[in-house]
Structure 1
Amino acid sequence: MRLFIVIAVFGCVLLTPRFAQASDRTWRDTSNIGRDALVIAALGTPLVQEDWQGALQASGSVGAATLVSLGLKDIFPETRPDGSDRRSFPSTHTATSFAAAATLQNRYGWKVGLPAHLVATIVGISRVQGTKHHWYDVAAGALLGEASGLLLTTRRNNNIRMLPWSDGQGGGIAMALRF
């Protein structure tokens, strides 16, 4: 876990000087590397720990976000800012990245989730800066990925469960502890 955090922070520090003079290719490379690193972390972390349920949940989360995103591109054709095609909405790079980040956070906690979300945010920014997506494409992708990661992944420690609830007059979070 600590290695992932160090890599994420080190990667962000290394990429920062490139952002000032970034070309479309730099932005594309940044988004591809960030997305791939997050997917590898989301799938690799449970495999290394022999957490087979976590690996299955990560696969489902990332796969669902990617497939739904690709399906929405056909339903809502949107021209990319660079005019290259009509598959801008929503951002699949962002959906996949946020699904992986949310999976890592929901399964392993904020110490892994926070740097993962930082990398996912950089992926989203790079898609806008590289003129591949509008800001709302990235926002929709982030929402889709976050929902996928949170809905399809459970916390590794089953002794603590937190569930959102609502009724006609309010809502909250119910927490159950098992001793």
Structure 2
Amino acid sequence: MQFAKLAIAAATLSLVSVPAAAVTNDQWDNAGTAVTIGLMATGYGLSIAKEDNWQGAKQLTFALVGSGATTELLKQLVHEERPNGENDQSFPSGHTTIAFASAGFMQKRYGWQIGLPATLAAAFVGFTRVQSNNHYIQDVVAGAVIGEVWAWVVTKPLNDNVQVMPWGDSKGGGVSVAAKF
């Protein structure tokens, strides 16, 4: 488990440490893709490492398939042109959707100690999508929301002794923590 946290943190920090102006669009694109794949692999690897009886892997798969299908449906309905003019499949960001679905799964299934670095890595993916000129900020935000929502809906905590749940309404928001003793 410690290895997973260190791997995510090291990958993110090594990529962020390069000055943004010195990195080409293709390099940003490749970095975002690599971290997205790494987040998915880490989620599946944790399911195996924690002897999760494949429940975690099934839940991650549901989060990835559901969020990916939602993203693809929206791409077909919205037809927003990419900033680079390549096509009209900009909204929402698929890379960001998958990264946040993976991170949200790790957060809810295995706890904030893994979820926090995974979420930071997912945020980096969103950053790379804008920096690579493949997406607008709203594409990335929508992808993050879609991924997180699907992960939170289909994932159950491995250890339900402590549960952390974000909440919000028209007057504010916060985090609710519940513990069993």
**C-alpha distance after superposition, 1:7-42 (max 9, x if no partner):** 122112321215341101111111100100001111
Question: 1:66 corresponds to which residue?
Answer: 68
Bigger drift between 38-47 and 17-26 goes to 17-26
Cα distance 1:80–1:172, how it changes in 2: closer, same or farther (>3 A)?
closer
- Is the alpha carbon distance of 1:165 and 1:40 closer, same or farther for their aligned partners in structure 2, counting shifts above 3 Å? closer
User: Match of 1:8?
Assistant: 8
Hey, what's the Cα distance between the residues in 1 that align with 2:148 and 2:42?
Answer: 16
Provide the rounded CA distance (Å) in 2 between the counterparts of 1:61 and 1:94: 13
Partner letter of residue 26 of structure 2? Answer: R
Report the CA distance shift for 1:109/1:123 in structure 2 as closer, same or farther (over 3 A): same
For 1:114 and 1:164, the matched residues in 2 are separated by: 14
Equivalent residue for 2:114?
A: 112
Once residues 111 and 53 of structure 1 are traced to their aligned partners in structure 2, the CA distance between those partners, rounded to angstroms, is 20
- Cα deviation code 1:146-167 (max 9, x no counterpart): 1111111011113445678899
Deviation, structure 1 residue 82 = 0.1
Provide the aligned C-alpha RMSD in A.
2.4
5+ long unaligned stretches in structure 2: none
Query: Which residue does the alignment assign to 1:29?
Result: 30
The letter for the 1-side match of 2:133 is: T
TM-score, normalised via structure 1 length: 0.89
Mean CA deviation greater in 155-164 or 32-41 = 155-164
- Larger mean CA deviation between 119-128 and 40-49 belongs to 40-49
Partners in 1 of 2:7 and 2:168 — Cα distance? 39
| Structure 1 residues 79 and 46: alpha-carbon distance in aligned structure 2, compared to 1, 3 A threshold | same
Q: CA deviation at 1:50?
A: 2.3
Q: TM-score with structure 2 length normalisation?
A: 0.88
Consecutive unaligned residues in structure 1, runs of 5 or more: none
- State the match for 1:38 in structure 2: 39
Q: Secondary structure at the match of 1:17?
A: coil
Offset from partner CA, 1:43-99 (integer Å, 9 cap, x none): 221023221211111111112111111111001110000000000000000000000
